[in-house]
Structure 1
Amino acid sequence: MATSSVSSSATLSSAGIGSGLDVESIISKLMTVESAQLNLLQEQSTSLNAKLSSFGKLQSNFSTLRDKANALTSTTLWNGTTGTSSDTSVVKASTSASTAAAAGNYAVTVNRLATGQTLTSSALPAGSTLSAGSLTIELGSWTGGTPASGSTPATPPTGFEPKSGSSAITVNIADGETSLSAVRDKINAAGAGVVATIVTDSSGSRLSLRSRETGAENAFRISASETVDDGNSASGLSALAFDATAASSPMSRTTEAANADASINGIAISSASNTLDNVVDGLTLTLQKVSSTPVSVDVAADTSAIKTAISDFVTAFNAVASFIRTQTAYNADSKTGGDLQGDSGALAIQAQLRAVINQGSSASSVFGRLSDVGIAMKADGTLETSASKLDNALGNLEELKKVLVTDGANSAESGFVRRFKNLSDAALGSDGVFDSRTAGLRTSVTRNSKSQEAMQSRLELTEARLRRQYSALDTTMAQMSTLSSYLTQQISAFNSGS
């Protein structure tokens, strides 16, 4: 289609009008031919960016493989143990992640659970108030006295020993804060090591105080001081006082503070808490209830965690192997290849992964190949696990550890997972295949972009030149057409006159 424009001489011109040529169509077709190289550069750019993206995904998958190899070569994993109780209703067992518990069997007997002290006030009618004043609460242990034994009644304590590192707390009760609920809230806010609650039944409401923590050293005594003493220790704020050494106290003790009493393999254990941490290195026992017969606690290697780590590693390996296989494949039906088809870096990684598995290991005297412990390579390059073989290998944990994680003097003397760890460390390092290949691809992308820019500039100059040439041709042909018309007129006029 002709293109109209206003010339510098203010005359209307249109390319092709003078000559009758379809100048725009001619220029468009010529530029299509000229643009072939630019199109090729754009196709190359798309391919380079796709390859760069795929290599980034491969690097991410390889990083995951390294993480799983690191987890599987961890000393903590292989030293890990698990505790199992024959009766979890009596005692629960768990092991520490930081301190390895020694494998073995422990007989645990629970004679008494650790308890905290509990005090209860007399029942008060609904809406009753106490009096202004103060309560002083002091943590500690009651001394002297004897517990009940058979038909012999208990004798009361004779003294009180304050808890080391703890100070008495005074709770001030002002006018307007004398209701049972207000006193409860003031005590709970004081941080005195006790918890206050209100228990209500048909006989009225009682204030109940209990130790926040269990153990004999977390018993407590309470002294009360009324702003205006009514002279009656059973009324007002005085009704909340307690001293176990006194013949009688306004509050009654319903539970005594006591340490847990247990035995482990016949060794007597006393604890302020029902959770026994590191009584046996790395083993935590949680006492649940009293039992007259010992409970068996077994500590053994945590083969379940090792099995999970192996499964995670195989999954990570398969993700890498499957990605490389897909990205380097050629589809004969669609006649298209993966983004990394023929890529030297991807093919080198694939070859190195297979070489690690194909080379035997002398690290173990029992297992020489990865397939011996139930991990074998399939035809597609991924790994599959034989549960029965792996379980059998887990039964010989020391040799399994050797064939997987030994750091030998060379590759042949090293464990298989250790080799993968070393391979991934090298590949993902600053001088590894991923950094070097990625840098090369980015350089190619930059070079391609500059080539496109240069080509685009050349095409713009070429189009401008063609337009100038065809504009000149159009003008010349228009002039020739005008001259031809004039001559035709003159000849016609001459012939008519003759």
Structure 2
Amino acid sequence: MPTNTPVNSSANANSLMQQAAQSIISGSTGNPSMDIGALVKSLVNAKTAGHAASLTASQTSSSTRISAFGALSSALGALQAGLTSLTNGGLQSTFTAVASGKGLTATSGAGAVAGTYTVGVTQIATAQALSSAGFTGNKALGTGTLTLSLGSQSFKVEVGGTNNTLSGIAAAINSASNNPGISATVINGTDGAHLVLGSSKTGSANAISVAVGNVANDNGLSSLGVTSTADTTGGASKIDSANSAAAWRQSAAAQDAKFTINGIASTSANNAVSGVLTGITLNLSAAAVSATDTQTLTVSTDTKSQAATITNFVNLYNTAVKTMGALTSYTEGANTQGALIGDSTLNTIRNSLASIVARGVDGAATENGHGRMNLMAIGIKLEKDGTLNVDSAKLGDALSANPTAAARLFDPTNGIGTRLNDQITHFTKKDGMIDVRTNALNADLKRVTQQQSDLSNYAAQLTKQYQAQFTALNTLMARMNSNTQYLTRLFGGANSSGTLANK
């Protein structure tokens, strides 16, 4: 990295020496006052300026290189983050799932397989809701204990003198810390106030029951007991008419979703159905329900998402390549150049990544041996400057017509993404190549800082030494000057006959 600092420092040092010499000459030829401070500063600077400039240049160079390796590490880290779906099989598991009718949507995930399926929905999963009989006025209902159950989970609510109204009981239910998912509210109708209980969980197993115990001063509290019976076949829940029908009404039943896939019947406690069709989550709604009609679910490769993932990888790879190019750039005549020109670490990293991208992956066996496939197979060209160029049309066509090409190029075991990821980890990990170089540069900075401190101490000692020497010299010169003036007056000078001459 060219710099004019040493030349300028040498010129400054020579100038300072000339100033010091002139100061001495002036003082010895009759100048009554020598500027000792300026003289000492000039001499000390002349002694230390060159070394100080050299240390500053070294410090600047090391700091610049550390920053350069930081920029390189950041670019490689961004590239590595973009490789995730190219190393974990995610690219090969990118599918779309589209239904032909209403009320049915689907999302795909790992394990999905392209195919066409017939789906029929006869019932969706719902959550139970119960309404109590009406109570006139906001009266006290008595005290006791309510044990509420949601499926197999239960909790207790103590009803005392401060919360024994419908609104107080609803608030106590909602605030119970171990409530598994029962909400309570009060609805005021023409026949009075009703306590309404609802479940946050769908499915026939999540039916609500209320047991009332330890009742005292009963004024309607005992009528809040209700027993719900779940349908073990996934059908609608019911309330026990023997002790509940008179006081409670089921406004919505707890039931499972019921559906068929390719004629195979299945149920689900909720409407986000997973685990029935591998890699696919079905989302059911009431619009899909039909006693006779079915609709078609088509699972196919999502080539648009795949193309976006691959294009993102190319952009991040190009950013890393351009970063390395900027760090090693050279412009003739420029004051500053790339911070890592000729750096062996950067060259090793650049060549390693370029080799992986250019080499591609081994393909299927051929008559001539083992075949090979590179990125050109999916419309990605390696340019002379090391960057990659995506032909979007060719990429889309390749993903549609030859999905195995992308699968082989980005195979999780030994594909391009996996090998790039492993190589970047080798470069950026602790004690990796970049870390070793950065640590060495930091050690250089530490040494330079110590040398600067030592030079500063030396300059202080030299200043003290010169200060004492030139103070003594100035005193001597002043005495000599005084003697000269005396002798001139005594013996006469150029314009005087002198004191002795008149005697």
1:119 aligns with 2:130: yes
Q: Which residue of 39, 47, 65 maps to 2:61? A: 47
Point out the more displaced range, 377-386 or 283-292.
377-386
Partner of 1:240: 224
Partner of 2:321: 321
1:94 aligns with 2:82: no
Q: Give the Å deviation of 1:212.
A: 4.2
Q: Mark the CA change 1:490 to 1:172 in structure 2 (over 3 Å): closer, same or farther.
A: closer
Partner of 1:250: 247
Partner of 1:154: none
Distance 2:454 2:250 in 1: 95
Partner of 1:270: 267
Q: Give the Å deviation of 1:440.
A: 3.0
- Post-superposition CA distance 1:400-441 (Å, at most 9, x none): 121234756xxxxxx433442343233224564313322332
Partner of 1:219: 207
Q: Aligned to 2:363, what secondary structure does the other structure show? A: coil
The 8 Å contact of residues 18 and 477 in structure 1, kept in 2 or not, is answered as no
Distance 1:118 1:477 in 2: 112
Q: Which residue of 163, 168, 172 maps to 1:177? A: 163
Q: Aligned to 1:336, what secondary structure does the other structure show? A: coil
The 8 Å contact of residues 358 and 382 in structure 2, kept in 1 or not, is answered as no
What code does the residue aligned with 2:450 have? K
Q: Mark the CA change 1:475 to 1:364 in structure 2 (over 3 Å): closer, same or farther.
A: farther
The 8 Å contact of residues 367 and 373 in structure 1, kept in 2 or not, is answered as no
Distance 1:308 1:426 in 2: 27
- Post-superposition CA distance 1:88-116 (Å, at most 9, x none): x52232234xx523332222211122234
Partner of 1:209: 197
Partner of 2:92: 78
The 8 Å contact of residues 226 and 238 in structure 1, kept in 2 or not, is answered as no
Q: Aligned to 2:242, what secondary structure does the other structure show? A: coil
The 8 Å contact of residues 238 and 250 in structure 1, kept in 2 or not, is answered as no
Q: Mark the CA change 1:119 to 1:37 in structure 2 (over 3 Å): closer, same or farther.
A: closer
What code does the residue aligned with 1:115 have? T
Q: Give the Å deviation of 1:288.
A: 0.5
What code does the residue aligned with 1:180 have? L
What code does the residue aligned with 1:174 have? G
Distance 2:334 2:170 in 1: 80
Distance 2:476 2:148 in 1: 116
The 8 Å contact of residues 133 and 246 in structure 2, kept in 1 or not, is answered as no
Point out the more displaced range, 329-338 or 54-63.
329-338
Q: Aligned to 2:255, what secondary structure does the other structure show? A: coil
Structure 1 vs Structure 2 CA RMSD:
3.4
Q: Which residue of 47, 56, 64 maps to 2:70? A: 56
Q: Mark the CA change 1:356 to 1:215 in structure 2 (over 3 Å): closer, same or farther.
A: closer
Q: Give the Å deviation of 1:23.
A: 4.2
Q: Mark the CA change 1:110 to 1:176 in structure 2 (over 3 Å): closer, same or farther.
A: same
Distance 2:132 2:199 in 1: 15
Q: Mark the CA change 1:276 to 1:326 in structure 2 (over 3 Å): closer, same or farther.
A: same
Point out the more displaced range, 171-180 or 41-50.
171-180
Partner of 1:402: 408
Q: Mark the CA change 1:250 to 1:338 in structure 2 (over 3 Å): closer, same or farther.
A: same
Partner of 1:375: 380
The 8 Å contact of residues 275 and 285 in structure 1, kept in 2 or not, is answered as yes
The 8 Å contact of residues 55 and 438 in structure 1, kept in 2 or not, is answered as yes
Gaps of 5+ in 2: 1-26, 227-238, 366-370, 492-497
The 8 Å contact of residues 318 and 388 in structure 2, kept in 1 or not, is answered as yes
Q: Mark the CA change 1:46 to 1:280 in structure 2 (over 3 Å): closer, same or farther.
A: same
Q: Give the Å deviation of 1:51.
A: 1.2
The 8 Å contact of residues 18 and 474 in structure 1, kept in 2 or not, is answered as no
Point out the more displaced range, 353-362 or 28-37.
353-362
Distance 1:43 1:432 in 2: 27
Q: Give the Å deviation of 1:46.
A: 1.3
Q: Aligned to 2:405, what secondary structure does the other structure show? A: helix
Distance 2:146 2:454 in 1: 90
What code does the residue aligned with 2:502 have? S
Aligned-residue sequence identity (percent) comes to 28
- How many residues align? The count is 445
Q: Aligned to 1:75, what secondary structure does the other structure show? A: coil
Q: Mark the CA change 1:400 to 1:193 in structure 2 (over 3 Å): closer, same or farther.
A: closer
Q: Mark the CA change 1:228 to 1:350 in structure 2 (over 3 Å): closer, same or farther.
A: closer
Q: Mark the CA change 1:463 to 1:275 in structure 2 (over 3 Å): closer, same or farther.
A: closer
Distance 2:210 2:431 in 1: 72
Distance 2:209 2:440 in 1: 78
Distance 2:51 2:183 in 1: 84
Distance 1:387 1:493 in 2: 109
The 8 Å contact of residues 73 and 428 in structure 2, kept in 1 or not, is answered as yes
Q: Give the Å deviation of 1:317.
A: 1.8
Distance 1:334 1:276 in 2: 65
- Post-superposition CA distance 1:306-354 (Å, at most 9, x none): 4343233223222222222222223446432132234332233333333
1:151-190 equivalent positions in 2, closer than 5 A? 165-166=152-153, 171-188=157-174, 189=176
1:251-400 equivalent positions in 2, closer than 5 A? 251-289=248-286, 290-291=289-290, 292-332=292-332, 334-359=334-359, 361-363=361-363, 368-378=373-383, 380-395=385-400, 396-400=402-406
Q: Aligned to 2:488, what secondary structure does the other structure show? A: helix
The 8 Å contact of residues 80 and 302 in structure 1, kept in 2 or not, is answered as yes
Distance 1:105 1:417 in 2: 31
Q: Give the Å deviation of 1:287.
A: 1.8
Q: Aligned to 2:205, what secondary structure does the other structure show? A: helix
What code does the residue aligned with 2:106 have? A
Q: Aligned to 2:377, what secondary structure does the other structure show? A: helix
Q: Give the Å deviation of 1:493.
A: 1.5
Q: Mark the CA change 1:238 to 1:473 in structure 2 (over 3 Å): closer, same or farther.
A: closer
Distance 2:302 2:423 in 1: 28
Partner of 1:196: 184
What code does the residue aligned with 1:386 have? D
Distance 2:213 2:460 in 1: 100
After TM superposition, which residue ranges in structure 1, 4 or more long, deviate above 6 angstroms? 15-18, 364-367
Distance 1:308 1:293 in 2: 37
Distance 2:181 2:31 in 1: 106
Partner of 1:33: 46
1:420-439 equivalent positions in 2, closer than 5 A? 420-429=420-429, 432-439=432-439
